[in-house]
Amino acid sequence: MILFPDLPSNCLTMLTEVSKNMCFGGWQKVFSHESSELSCSMRFAVYLPPQSESGPRPALFYLSGLTCTEQNFITKAGAQQYAAKHGLIVVAPDTSPRGIGVPGEDDSYDLGTGAGFYVDATREPWAKNYRMHSYITKELMKLVQENFPVKPGAIGITGHSMGGHGALICALRNPGLYRSVSAFSPICNPSACPWGQKAFTAYFGESASADWEAHDATKLAAGYAGPELELLIDQGEADEFLEKGQLLPERLVNACSGNARLKTRLRMQKDYDHSYFFIASFIGDHIEHHAKALLA
């Protein structure tokens, strides 16, 4: 028996269903749509827990890291069983526009395709399409709220690596939009690490600009004045990118320590690396963290 039937066709006029699979009593689905923010076709995944058949449920957005699509998280993290347990809708978008023909977009793994960094680029040739921040916080947010049974005001955000950076800046730049936040091995201070410096130079221009600071969680934390937030951050001690100075979690913790509105729980996990084996090991804790805040 189908526990969560297809939504009415008139409810999904803006979306095209790409796939659906029954999973832990709910539905793991993937949709495509034409994005006005990014000027291209985009995909995103939605897990609808069995409880969503009975009424609105909280929603958790997950932002993936470099090179990923919506598929990495839904096939590797094992989040569905915990989302079903707590009754959370989980939304997992792609990481960038694709196939739009920007010169250089496919030249390297850490810039362009698969590497949108969840920012709104201001520099050409990226400015027209690379608007992932507005896509996540405005366009996709509206699509999800209009087409799925999301409980108003009960939305959280999490992510991994570049997506952890995205989750942090989405929450800190948009006070009150997300009630809960967490991250796995996030890029915490992109203005000061090779990944971030490369991306920000391409998307915004030279360093020390206001755009750099506006997309850097460590810089944003000091001036955050929104509702109180508890940031749960898990970081593997054996993470090669931690050793290479790409992540810099201690800088974010130090920045948050001077702001009474931000409480940070940084958990250093012995022997864990940067992979989805790490994410799968602690995704249950993160979903519980969000459920506690979103179901209160």
Marked catalytic residue, from 52, 64, 96, 161: 161
Q: How many angstroms separate the CA atoms of 158 and 111, rounded?
A: 21
pTM as predicted:
0.95
Check 239, 286, 289, 290 and give the catalytic one. Answer: 239
- Structural domain that includes position 225: 16-294
Tally the domains of the chain: 1
Q: How many CB atoms lie within 10 A of CB 265?
A: 12
Per the annotation, the verdict on 273 as an active-site residue is: no
In a domain, 32, yes or no: yes
Say which of 86, 160, 215, 274 is annotated catalytic: 274
Q: Does residue 192 lie within any of the structural domains?
A: yes
Return the beta strands (E) in 125-261 as ranges.
Answer: 150-159, 180-184, 229-236
Active site residue 289: no
Annotation marks residue 274 as catalytic: yes
Q: Is residue 9 assigned to a domain?
A: no
CATH of the domain at 253: 3.40.50.1820
Domain assignment of residue 7, yes or no: no
**Strand ranges inside the chain, DSSP E:** 16-23, 26-35, 40-48, 57-63, 89-93, 150-159, 180-184, 229-236, 262-269
Per-residue pLDDT of the chain (296 residues; tens, 9 = 90+): 222 334 444 444 489 999 999 999 999 999 999 999 999 999 999 999 999 999 999 999 999 999 999 999 999 999 999 999 999 999 999 999 999 999 999 999 999 999 999 999 999 999 999 999 999 999 999 999 999 999 999 999 999 999 999 999 999 999 999 999 999 999 999 999 999 999 999 999 987 689 999 999 999 999 999 999 999 999 999 999 999 999 999 999 999 999 999 999 999 999 999 999 999 999 999 999 999 999 98
